[in-house]
Structure 1
């Protein structure tokens, strides 16, 4: 995936900050898995924790807690 200059992805969001999903990148099964976890366009995400090495990230999405890998977080374009 080619990252645009001003594009912000979920991996860049700091602990305690909220962001809104703008767009999902990725193909087929990977994109479908992210959507099946409840991460879809327009949804608000709160970053709760990030593991010491950055993997995984713990999120609050639609009222539940979710952990995702850094690689998946890079495919989720967000705006604050």
Structure 2
């Protein structure tokens, strides 16, 4: 399942980020978005972009297009 498909309040575990470029993947990893890390969707903007996620106690806003390239497993 893609991170962009999770509904508001849902939680999941990051399983992969293979669709992202190496530079983008590295930036996300520095922010704490790593494989086997729990993530929660806090809220979604009214038009669907951006998506606010919570990772390791930190809130991050991601573009929907970026969230479509992050694979998660629903908790």
TM-score by length of 1: 0.85
| 8 Å CA contact 1:14, 1:47 repeated in 2 | yes
Pair member with larger Rg? 1
Q: Distance in 2 between matches of 1:71 and 1:33?
A: 16
Higher relative contact order (CA 8 A, sep 6+): 2
What is aligned with 2:56?
62
Post-superposition CA distance 1:13-51 (Å, at most 9, x none) = 000110100011212211112212210100101101000
Measure, in 2, the Cα distance between the counterparts of 1:31 and 1:64.
17
Q: Is the 8 A contact 1:9 1:78 kept in 2?
A: yes
Which runs of 5 or more structure 2 residues have no equivalent in the other structure? none
| Unaligned 5+ runs, structure 1 | 1-7
* Residue of 18, 21, 29 corresponding to 1:35: 29
What TM-score comes out, normalization by structure 2 length?
0.90
Match of 2:4 in 1: 11
Runs of 4+ more than 6 Å apart: none
Q: Over aligned residues, Cα RMSD in angstroms?
A: 0.9
